[in-house]
Amino acid sequence: MKIWASCIGLQNFFQALSFSVKYYSKHNHLQTIYLYSQIKPKKCHILDCSGNACRSTLPPGSILWWRFLSCKQETTKVSRKRKKNPSVITSELLYKDLLRSEQENWNEISASYESMTKRIKQKLEGLHNKYTFNLSSPRIRFGENVYFEENGCIFLSKADDVDEANANVLFSTEDIGFSDAHIQQIRISPDQRYMAASLKSENSEEATCVIMKLDHFPVMEKVIPNIFSFEWATSDVLFYTSQKNLKCQEVFMTTFTNERHTKLVYTEQDARFFVDIYCTKDRRFLTINSNSKTTSEVWLVDCSHPFKSPVLVQARTKGVIYHIEHRNDELYILTTYGEPAEYKLMKAPVASSGMENWQLFYALEEKTKLIDLEMFSNHCIMFLQHTGHLYLNVISFVSHSIQSIKDETLVPITVFHNINSKELHRKPLLVHVYGAYGIDLNMSFKEEKLMLIEEGWILAYCHVRGGGELGLSWHKDGCQHNKLKGLQDLKACIMLLHELGFSQPKYTALAAASAGGVLAGALCNTDPELIRAMVLQAPFLDVLNTMMKTHLPLTMEEQEEWGNPLADEKSMKYIKNYCPYQNIKPQHYPSVFITAYENDQRIPLTGVLKYVQKLRKAARDHASKTDRKGNWIPNIILDIEAKGSHCDSSWEDSLNEVARHLAFLNKELDKE
């Protein structure tokens, strides 16, 4: 089913399909409708549905203290302290005033949602307990041993008895002083003497790597802060990338031999590039991957000689993305090089890996998106999607044959509703959108989705250009100077849903998160009459001002998605044409509920505060000018969370947020 197209890796893919089959066969009151249609509005297309995500995932940085300078002039010592610019002080005071004002406003308003929020929370908790399925953490198998994580603990068991009750606890986050953190990744050294695990707090982007020596009684050997990715090159040599101010541009090597040391291995100089490391499936090489939004460069570390300098595969070439796997002294290169500019699988000898030696091994069909690739000794599996069809191609290295395994479900727009629902044009409709970074819209199972369907809601997922369901060209068709196409697609999708009898504007709400807030906020400015309410989580709303602030950690990296308004007047004008904050004006607006996070390092809270203030003023100005009897003034609500970071909250905090969102929607759509 298309709902699971965003699953990464073979195990998760089949786990998800297994659950979806069981779920839909067991609960046949749920109907899924897949729409594929031409759109009547000019230059608009109905698109596949798809995926959720955030602006680039990178960790936080450190605080640099002001340094005080002093000098001597004859016998007089003069101390010079850096003084703050008066405009900076004014901005800080304004920010604090806005923050305080919004917190007071929320405290006053929240009481009106309290009883409904409580009811929704109770129902969601019941559904969570009833339907939570065990997509357990990945099992890492070494010979007869299996390592796995459950409830903040890492266990070791035998392969024929993977049971938490009979497994040995290697460590728990609470025992080592990280009680508020969850385990992100686990890496076991080849001889199983060491284990590295990354831990992340729910209130921070920052991850910490803990290295344990796995004796009879595991001992903590080392703690590395500010880490993003890490891999064992040998049994006692670990490579890792460090995080600074949401950037990841340095690779280090640390040893656990008799002579222990840590040294810098690689530094990325270009602020647009982000660095991570990966171990090939056969563990022959570590790859140092430096990627911008459009360009890649890979360096190889030979795991049998980890102290040798990394070797360049192919120097970065503008517009060419590539990733590396290895088999039998040949590199298998997943790349956009050549025509058409979609992913294709090529190969080259390890000894002569330059682009001039790349040979085509497998080319994708037109309009096909590559979702993932898994490499094995005698075959590889490609996870593909072609015009809405999700399927697998198994390519044999022995017989050179290709076996295709298809799922024929077509899903340009996916609509979920209760099959017993009558008069669908009177039912509330919740539309989801994202449309950025070539990322699929998240359609995974969540308790609140089931609850809404059971209560008669219609859920629609609109895949707009800028997402990734139809490949790289689909993303390119909705980024930079094509961003307005995603907005046109969203409008066309909602209009078609209404035309087909799915709800109507006064019962329609729009939901988006992170970069999805750009299209959702833009629609509110251009076509506010299509929806009654909107809920946004950590939304990106002030594109122009954010992209003009180069001191922000992600601005340089994001230029390939949004454009560079500082260097390109055309980009400046184009962004200004759709930017939600820039285009607010006195007119009718839907009600809006925004959840933002004080610790969000990707979406500056200042931009959200300014957006809310400007939107409220515009709505009030419009109401005062029209001054009709019974004139409706939208509710513009900002809920600022002290806990959590960008779209990343604990289950308890997430439950509260979802319950407040649904209470707001029920009240605004008059469905109490």
DSSP string over 139-172: PEEETTEEEEEETTEEEEEETT---GGGSEEEEE
> Which range, 92-106, 332-346, 411-425, 630-644, is most confident?
332-346
- Options 45, 417, 646, 661, the catalytic residue: 646
- pLDDT at residue 670 above 50? yes
What is the rounded average pLDDT of the residues 626-630?
A: 60
> Tokens 């998160």 correspond to what residue?
513
Mean pLDDT of 135-146: 74
Q: Which of 155-169, 210-224, 323-337, 345-359 has the lowest mean pLDDT?
A: 155-169
Mean pLDDT of 562-588: 94
Q: Answer whether 560's CB lies under 8 Å from 293's CB.
A: yes
**Catalytic (active site) residue 175:** no
**Mean pLDDT, all residues of the chain:** 81
User: How far is CA 608 from each of CA 471, 521, 597, rounded to the nearest angstrom?
Assistant: 32, 11, 10
pLDDT digits (tens, 9 = 90+) for 472-482: 888 888 999 99
- pLDDT at residue 442, as a whole number: 87
Query: Is the pLDDT confidence value at 649 over 70?
Result: no
> Is residue 435 a contact partner of residue 467, using CB atoms and an 8 Å limit?
yes
DSSP code of 469? T
Q: What's residue 525's pLDDT?
A: 95
Give me the pLDDT at residue 199, please.
93
Residue 104: what pLDDT? Answer: 87
Average pLDDT over residues 469-495: 87
Which of 182, 221, 173, 172 lies closest to 202, judged by CA?
182
pLDDT, position 12: 38
3-class SS at 25? Answer: helix
509 pLDDT above the threshold of 60: yes
Q: Can 600 be counted among the known catalytic residues?
A: yes
Over the range 237-275, which residues count as b (16 or more CB within 10 Å of their CB) and which as e?
bbbbbbbebbbbbbbbbbbbeeeeeeeebbebeebbbbb
Residue 629 has pLDDT above 80, yes or no: no
> CA 107, CA 637: separation in Å to the nearest integer?
11
Averaged pLDDT, 305-333: 95
Instruction: Return the pLDDT at 81.
Output: 44
**3-state SS, residue 512:** strand
pLDDT at 329 over 50: yes
pLDDT on residue 165: 67
pLDDT (average), residues 565-570? 92
Lowest mean pLDDT among 155-164, 354-363, 424-433, 579-588: 155-164
Among 60-64, 222-226, 482-486, the minimum mean pLDDT is found in: 60-64
- Write down the catalytic residue from 514, 645, 649, 654: 514
Outline where 479-589 has alpha helix (H): 483-499, 516-526, 543-547, 555-562, 569-578
Q: Could you tell me which residue, 665 or 627, shows the higher pLDDT?
A: 665
CA dihedral 368, 370, 373, 377 (to 10 degrees): 30
Q: Is the pTM of this model over 0.85?
A: no
Place of tokens 């010079």: 80
Would you call 353 helix, strand, or coil by DSSP? coil
How confident is the model at residue 529, as a pLDDT?
93
Query: What's the pLDDT band for 469 if we cut at 50, 70, 90?
Result: confident
Q: Which of the following is catalytic: 236, 276, 489, 600? A: 600
Residue 367 confidence (pLDDT):
79
The token pair at 479 is: 């980024």
Highest mean pLDDT among 126-140, 294-308, 649-663: 294-308
Q: What is the pLDDT of residue 400?
A: 80
The question of whether 514 is a catalytic residue gets the answer: yes
Residue 207 CA to its chain's centroid (Å): 16
Confidence of residue 161 (pLDDT cuts 50, 70, 90): low
Indicate the range of 38-42, 204-208, 312-316, 517-521 predicted with least confidence.
38-42
